[in-house]
């Protein structure tokens, strides 16, 4: 039984049936006991009336089944072997019974007898009643007392499915609303009618829908921006191809072929960065293991890779503060982020400038700082440089405007931060600082 509703209905019905059976048994036993006690009181009262001379009120001559309540009354005088008065001559009690209640077997029938001894006048008064009659009377009364219990059980059995189905009806409506949720219809569920016990779950679904909406809107903007930005390089490629076809001579053909190759490289770079940005924006996989990254060794390898680029532009690329730093991160993504920071510095630093890299750890965690001697960034543009496709000096400096967006996405996914600030040490330039928090830090010994 996988249905929660069916389990609740079945459990309640079985539970109430068990409680009802126990209640019925207790009620039956108590009713039998109380009726028996009540009949005993009647026996005692009849004996008292008999002692008061009211023999006629006890019963009439004849067999027990014809007597009122089956009572048999007898009066004994001292020294006599038979009772002086007997409402049923066929029944004779034992006059020697002690005072109070007793049970005798007479003519094959058990009798419940109450004996009252009057020492003042030497008389013995006895009133008896067939035990079978008492049992039948008590059983009939006990069974009649069970009627309300049985009716209540049946009514509750009918009411339980109705109540549970009504309680689950709101969940059914919420389920129908959830079925309608899709990429083109990310409407939050109406939780106004949802029970309080289910409200946290419904609210979590609505929060998930909100996150999906934000993510999908971001992806739509990204696709629109990427399509817009790719139009220009693709149009440039088409133009270069047309120019190559219309080249008047060999020298012009070679020049236009070189321009075509450069345009292809720029387009390929943009596509690569778009893919890198998509990977950086992806949510981390909880099951994917992070690497223990030696940041100093990683930066050393990056400097070696980018040194030819720096030399070709007459830029002094090197390191200053170079200390041990280890973090738990995805090595490929972290390398991509740091590389984009360094490439961005090399792109904007003029010839004969310098780009310095610092690597160290402090209380905040592992820090990579890139300092260049470029033109810096206007203060009013510092808040926009991490926007996708935003470029300073787009006419004079090559680039897609995606590098810093990639850096921000990678660092944010690792719980870190990245910041840019203009230099204030008497030189022009920019300082880019990447920080991975202390909680992500780990030494190689650990």
Q: What pTM does this model have?
A: 0.47
pLDDT at 234: 77
Residue 69 sits at φ, ψ, to 5 deg, of 55, 15
Cβ 112 vs Cβ 128: under 8 Å: yes
pLDDT at 263: 75
pLDDT at 389: 63
Look at residue 43 and give its three-state secondary structure. Answer: helix
pLDDT at 276: 65
Q: Of 122-131, 313-322, 350-359, 392-401, where does mean pLDDT reach its minimum?
A: 392-401
Report pLDDT digits (tens) over 22-34. 888 888 888 888 8
CA distance 169 to 171: 5
For 327-334, what is the mean pLDDT?
Answer: 82
| pLDDT exceeds 50 at position 335 | yes
Which residues pair with residue 185 across a beta bridge? 182
For 281-298, what is the mean pLDDT?
Answer: 68
> What's the chain's average pLDDT?
78
Cβ 240 vs Cβ 263: under 8 Å: yes
Q: What is the DSSP string of 191-235?
A: -TTS-TTTHHHHHHHHHHHHHHHHHHHHHHHHHHHHHHHHHHHHH
pLDDT at 131: 87
Look at residue 137 and give its three-state secondary structure. Answer: helix
CA distance 150 to 127: 37
- Classify residue 274 as exposed, middle or buried by CB count within 10 Å of its CB (0-12, 13-18, 19+): buried
Q: Of 59-73, 158-172, 210-224, 270-284, where does mean pLDDT reach its minimum?
A: 59-73
| pLDDT exceeds 80 at position 233 | no
pLDDT at 143: 83
Q: What angle do CA 191, 194, 195 make, to 5 degrees?
A: 140
pLDDT at 358: 92
pLDDT at 440: 42
What is the layout of strands, in order, in the sheet containing 100-106? 85-86, 72-77, 123-130, 109-118, 100-106
pLDDT at 60: 44
pLDDT at 371: 93
For 200-229, what is the mean pLDDT?
Answer: 73
Cβ 124 vs Cβ 95: under 8 Å: yes
Report pLDDT digits (tens) over 46-83. 888 878 775 554 544 434 444 556 778 888 887 788 88
Q: Which residues contact 87 (CB under 8 A, 6 or more apart)?
A: 55, 58, 59, 60, 61, 67, 71, 72, 73, 74
Look at residue 187 and give its three-state secondary structure. Answer: coil
The percent of residues in the chain predicted with pLDDT above 70, rounded, is: 77
Cβ 356 vs Cβ 374: under 8 Å: no
Which residues pair with residue 219 across a beta bridge? none
| pLDDT exceeds 50 at position 287 | no
| pLDDT exceeds 50 at position 106 | yes
pLDDT at 372: 92
Q: Give the Cβ contact number of residue 11 at 10 Å.
A: 12
What domains can be seen in the chain, in order of their start residue?
A: 4-141 (3.30.450), 199-279 (1.10.287), 288-440 (3.30.565.10)
Report the relative pairing of strands 100-106 and 354-362 from DSSP bridges: unpaired
pLDDT at 395: 46
| pLDDT exceeds 90 at position 370 | yes
CA distances from 93 to 127, 128, 135, 156 (A): 9, 8, 20, 51
E strands of 47-161, at which residues?
72-77, 85-86, 100-106, 109-118, 123-130
| pLDDT exceeds 50 at position 265 | yes
Sign of torsion, CA 178 180 186 188? negative
CA distance 401 to 424: 25
Question: Does 328 or 175 have the greater pLDDT score?
Answer: 328
Report pLDDT digits (tens) over 139-156. 888 888 778 888 888 888
Cβ 28 vs Cβ 142: under 8 Å: yes
Terminal-residue alpha carbon distance, the chain: 49
Which residues pair with residue 117 across a beta bridge? 124
Longest dimension (CA), the chain: 162
CA distance 193 to 202: 11
pLDDT at 398: 54
pLDDT at 343: 85
Cβ 401 vs Cβ 389: under 8 Å: yes
Report pLDDT digits (tens) over 109-130. 888 899 988 877 778 888 888 8
């Amino acid at each position: 039984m996988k249905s929660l509703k069916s389990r609740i209905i079945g459990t309640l019905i079985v539970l109430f049936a068990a409680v009802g059976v126990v209640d019925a048994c207790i009620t039956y036993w108590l009713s039998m006991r109380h009726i028996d006690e009540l009949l005993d009181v009647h026996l005692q009262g009849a004996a008292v009336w008999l002692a008061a001379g009211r023999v006629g009120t006890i019963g009439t001559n004849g067999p027990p089944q014809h007597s009122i309540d089956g009572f048999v009354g007898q009066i004994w005088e001292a020294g006599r072997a038979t009772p002086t008065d007997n409402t049923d001559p066929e029944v004779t009690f034992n006059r020697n019974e002690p005072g109070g209640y007793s049970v005798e077997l007479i003519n094959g029938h058990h009798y419940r007898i109450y004996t009252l001894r009057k020492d003042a006048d030497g008389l013995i008064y006895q009133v008896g009643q067939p035990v079978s009659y008492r049992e039948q009377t008590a059983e009939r009364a006990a069974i009649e007392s069970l009627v309300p219990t049985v009716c209540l059980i049946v009514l509750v059995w009918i009411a339980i499915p109705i109540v549970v189905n009504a309680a689950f009806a709101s969940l059914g409506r919420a389920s129908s609303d959830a079925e309608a949720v899709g990429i083109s219809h990310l409407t939050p569920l109406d939780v106004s009618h949802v029970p309080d016990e289910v409200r946290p779950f419904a609210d979590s679904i609505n929060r998930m829908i909100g996150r999906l909406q934000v993510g999908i809107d971001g992806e739509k903007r990204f696709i629109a921006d990427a399509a817009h930005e790719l139009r220009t390089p693709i149009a440039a490629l088409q133009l270069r191809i047309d120019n190559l076809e219309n080249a008047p001579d060999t020298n012009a053909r070679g020049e236009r072929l070189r321009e075509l190759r450069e345009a292809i490289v720029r387009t390929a770079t943009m596509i690569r960065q778009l893919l890198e940005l998509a990977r950086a924006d992806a949510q981390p996989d909880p099951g994917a293991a992070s690497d223990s990254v030696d940041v100093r060794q990683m930066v050393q390898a990056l400097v070696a890779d980018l040194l030819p680029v720096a030399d070709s532009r007459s830029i002094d690329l090197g390191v200053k503060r170079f200390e041990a730093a280890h973090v738990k991160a995805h090595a490929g993504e972290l390398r991509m982020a740091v590389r984009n920071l360094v490439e961005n510095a090399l792109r904007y630093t003029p010839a004969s400038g310098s780009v310095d890299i610092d690597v160290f750890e402090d209380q905040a965690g592992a820090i990579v700082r890139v300092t260049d001697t470029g033109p810096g960034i206007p203060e009013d543009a510092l808040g926009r440089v991490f926007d996708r496709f935003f470029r300073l000096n787009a006419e004079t400096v090559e680039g897609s405007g995606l590098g810093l967006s990639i850096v921000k996405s990678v660092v944010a996914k690792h719980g870190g931060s990245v910041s840019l600030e203009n230099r204030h040490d008497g030189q022009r330039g920019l300082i880019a600082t990447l920080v991975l928090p202390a909680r992500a830090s780990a030494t190689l010994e650990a």
